[in-house]
Amino acid sequence: MQRKILFWERGLPMAPAFIYKACTQRGDRVRGIIMGSDEYQAVSTLRARGYLVTEIKKKGQDFQLPIAGLWSGLSSKELALFCRQLATMLAAGLSLVKGLEILEKQHLSKRMRETVGKIRQELINGWQLSEALRRQPHLFPAALVHMVAAGETGGVLEEVMARMAQHFEKEHNLRERVKGALTYPVVVTLLALGAVVFLITYVLPTFSALFASSGLALPWPTRTLLFFSDFISGNWQWLGGSCILLLLGTLWYMRTEGGSRWRDRFFLALPAVGPVLQGIALSRFCRTLGTLLSGGVPLLPALDVAKNTADNQVINQALGQVQAGIKEGSELATLLKDYPVFPEMMIQMVKVGEETGALPDLLIRIADYYEWEVDSFLKRLSSLLEPALTVAVAGFVGFIVISIMLPLLDLVLVVG
């Protein structure tokens, strides 16, 4: 539930107004307008009231980009490296500003140098690290911002940065395993389609005039290929334009809330693909939630951040309803039972975690289990796809070659 809170702080008559969005300790989303001499004072006032600020912008300017589970900024590898290096600097006894100064000189990436430089300058201007990261939501995810804020409050920033480095390293490794498993079949499929289109549109038409002048009865494979060749050659403009429009329309629809929900529901229902996508989404969610809880972030704000990392509208919708139930006093495991998207094993482990007070550790273990399960499936899938794709490509190309050779052999026999 999102409540709208509008209030003005007493201060200087000409003090600027700031529009903010925040999350309460109970998990309620709030928004409003606050007066302050600058953003630092406005954020400090809101934090004193127990708010976790997610967005703040001077009134009259556009909002910053909203925080999401997936972002177009720093990759998981870059975030892991940033957190690991900063944790190492802090462990060596360096101050935060000095550590960032060293990191700014070490990074080879221009974007990372500029980013670290902005953060260091904002720390010099009096901002805390979490507030400096929050000012760049297009680069740093909400999970990192909340963890850093919890680490600053508890005085364990070094430990938090090391924990987040491990978190992003796990996320990066999972992404790389998925990419590695999909690269080979995607490349082979594209090459096979390219070869088939080339043979049909360029090679086969050179023989069509010869076949037509021979007067021979063509076998059905040749007639089929000639039909497709003539159809594609004569209508390639319409076919190409239709494919582009269909692709753009599909991409637009998938970006809408209804389209993304339909897409996620469809893929989760697939026999082999569904369990893998479910495991990836639940692994991301459990790892993020466990990391946030272990860092001292309350359950409701942690759920609000972690549910977006699943990158699945079906799971996000279920978790939104789970949040509402937790606000009413229900337990997490009890609420998860109402949604089939959450496996029984996960529910039982969450229940044990709530009963023993070890929920953060068990959530991390659940994430490890699903990563292992996804990795095992991807290895089996790769071993099965390679011979299957080889046979399929050989079959397509062989069919085309046979379709061309059969009438040529008949023509040679007639001439001979």
Three-state SS for 9-49 is CCCCCCCCEEEEEEECCCCCEEEEEEECCCHHHHHHHHHHC
Tell me if 79 sits within 8 A of 150, measured CB to CB: no
| Structural domain includes residue 149 | no
DSSP 203: I
pLDDT at 88 over 60: yes
For residues 206 and 352, state if they share a domain: yes
Count up the domains in the chain and report the number.
3
Percent of the chain residues past pLDDT 90, beyond the cut: 5
Nearest to 314 by CA among 264, 245, 374: 264
pLDDT at 103 over 80: yes
Q: Of 307, 310, 308, 329, which is closest to residue 319 (Cα–Cα)?
A: 307
Whether residues 48 and 80 fall in one domain:
no
Q: With bands split at pLDDT 50, 70 and 90, how would you rate the model's confidence at 414?
A: low
Per-residue pLDDT at 150 exceeds 60: yes
For 270, residues 6+ apart whose C-beta sits below 8 A from its C-beta are none
Residues 40 and 188 in one domain: no
Taking a C-beta distance cutoff of 8 angstroms, is the pair 199, 399 a contact?
A: no
* Position 311 in a domain: yes
**In-domain check, residue 237:** yes
Residues 388 and 325 in one domain: yes
Domain stop point among 92, 121, 140: 140
Instruction: With a cut of 50, say whether residue 243 has pLDDT above it.
Output: yes
CA distances to 20, 280, 314, 395 from 310, in Å: 25, 8, 10, 39
Range of the structural domain that residue 292 is part of = 170-416
Residue 363 within a domain = yes
One domain for residues 324 and 370: yes
Q: pLDDT digit string (tens) for 163-179?
A: 888 888 888 888 888 88
Q: Are residues 382 and 327 in the same domain?
A: yes
Burial class (CB in 10 A: 0-12, 13-18, 19+), 339: middle
Residue 132 and residue 39 in contact, taking contact as beta carbons nearer than 8 Å: no
Longest CA–CA span in the chain (Å) reads 104
List CB contacts of 358: < 8 A, sequence separation 6 or more.
352
| Cα–Cα nearest to 164, from 150, 154, 176 | 150
Residue 64 pLDDT grade (very low, low, confident, very high; cuts 50, 70, 90): very low
Residues 320-339, mean pLDDT to the nearest whole number: 88
Give me the mean pLDDT over the 381-389 stretch: 80
CA–CA separation, 408 vs 416, rounded Å?
12
239 and 311 part of one domain: yes
- Confidence band (pLDDT; 50, 70, 90) for 349? very high
Q: Are residue 87 and residue 187 in the same domain, yes or no?
A: no
The pLDDT score that the predictor gives to residue 3 is: 45
Q: Which of 414, 399, 411 is nearest to 210 (CA)?
A: 411
Give the model's confidence band at 352: pLDDT under 50 very low, under 70 low, under 90 confident, else very high. Answer: very high
Q: Is residue 145 part of a domain?
A: no
pLDDT number for residue 13: 44
In terms of domains, do 229 and 96 share one? no
179, 241: one domain: yes
Contact 220, 402 (CB under 8 A): no
For the record, the structure tokens of 281 come out as 């989404």
Does residue 186 lie within any of the structural domains?
yes
122 with 228, same domain? Answer: no
Is residue 380, in this structure, part of any structural domain at all? yes
229 contacts 200 by C-beta, under 8 angstroms? yes
In a domain, 18, yes or no: yes
235 and 297 together in one domain: yes
Distance linking the first and last C-alpha atoms of the chain: 84
Give the residues across from 20 on adjacent strands.
32, 56
* Tens digits of residue pLDDT in 22-33: 777 666 677 778
Determine contact, residues 36/15, Cβ cutoff 8 Å: yes
Residue of 372, 374, 369, 363 lying closest to 303 (CA atoms):
363
* 84 three-state secondary structure: helix
Q: What is the mean pLDDT of residues 406-414?
A: 75
pLDDT of residue 79 exceeding 50: yes
- Residue 2 pLDDT more than 60? no
Lowest mean pLDDT among 51-55, 256-260, 283-287, 313-317: 51-55
